Amino acid sequence: MVRIIGILVGLFFTAAVLWAFGNGAVQVASQDYFVEKTAETEFHLHPKELDQASDHLVAHWDKQQLQRGYQVYKEVCAACHSLRHVAFRDLEQIGYTEAQVKAIAATWQVPGVDPVTGEATTVPGKPTDYFPLVYLNDVAARAANNNAIPPDLSLMTKARHEGPAYVYSLLTGYSEIPAELTAEFPDFSTPPGLHFNRYFANLNLAMPPPLAVDDQVTYADGTPATIDQMAKDVSAFLTWTAEPSLPKRKQTGWPVIGFLIFATILAYLAKKQIWARAKKKA
């Protein structure tokens, strides 16, 4: 009787698993089959491949690249996008000295108080200050950007799928609407004030191309500042702002994996030894 009940329970769970698998497969197939074909679904592109030092087996930060990325952020992106979760003193992690960080902070204006009048004002930043907000609130941001709110970039590469590659692709993905798109979807257009970009979900982006020409910045280390290079550098910098401990986390993983492999081998050998004795007794 117990055996029959066990068999029935097993059959029930097997049927439940098969039903769940089949139902999920049918739903996915139905969604793919019945999805409406639009310009967005047909012409939106997956992010390009991007190779960063932090992606390697021995992950590390290319500090020279991060400093170039900071320069691109300050000279190009900082006009619209904030880094609210990053403090100036954090820049020491990418190779700047304490004196350099102090000088960098002083080039930024942060909220402060006039010591004479007690009124709110702006003052030169200190290493302990955070990067200032570009706009005081969403209303000000919309008013200055054609009703669009420029997102904060502190965590952008963690907030988007394949974040670093997404940022790089978006910055280098502006183009004219391809002829094949208008041929297949004659009603598609880019409204005034928007810009066509195949790496953006709905193809039309409010942000104009921030990296418009080569040599838009002049790198201190002499690296040619092509659009592609500037996009890679600022993507690397934003990868760091989103997770400064990324290489350390990955490096910690290798000893953990080594320990787990060693523990597995040890457990296997112990099992062999224990069962060898049991077989002899049997």
Beta-bridged to residue 122, according to DSSP, are 111
Q: Is 207 annotated as a binding residue?
A: yes
pLDDT (tens digit, 9 = 90+) per residue, 237-276? 999 999 999 888 888 888 888 889 989 998 888 888 877 7
163 and 70 in a common domain: yes
Alpha-carbon span 129 to 87, nearest angstrom: 6
204 and 226 in a common domain: yes
In a domain? residue 174: yes
pLDDT (tens digit, 9 = 90+) per residue, 161-211? 999 999 999 999 999 999 999 999 999 999 998 999 999 999 999 999 999
Q: Is 80 annotated as a binding residue?
A: yes
224 and 157 in a common domain: yes
Host domain of residue 183: 47-86+131-244
This prediction's pTM: 0.81
In a domain? residue 110: no
List C-alpha distances in Å: 270 to 106, 122, 261, 281: 63, 68, 14, 17
Q: Is 230 annotated as a binding residue?
A: no
Q: Is 46 annotated as a binding residue?
A: no
Query: Taking a C-beta distance cutoff of 8 angstroms, is the pair 133, 126 a contact?
Result: no
Domain count within the chain: 2
In this predicted structure, which of 34-43, 53-62, 68-77 has the lowest mean pLDDT? 34-43
140 and 169 in a common domain: yes
158 and 271 in a common domain: no
48 HSE (CA, 13 A, CB side): 16
151 and 78 in a common domain: yes
In a domain? residue 203: yes
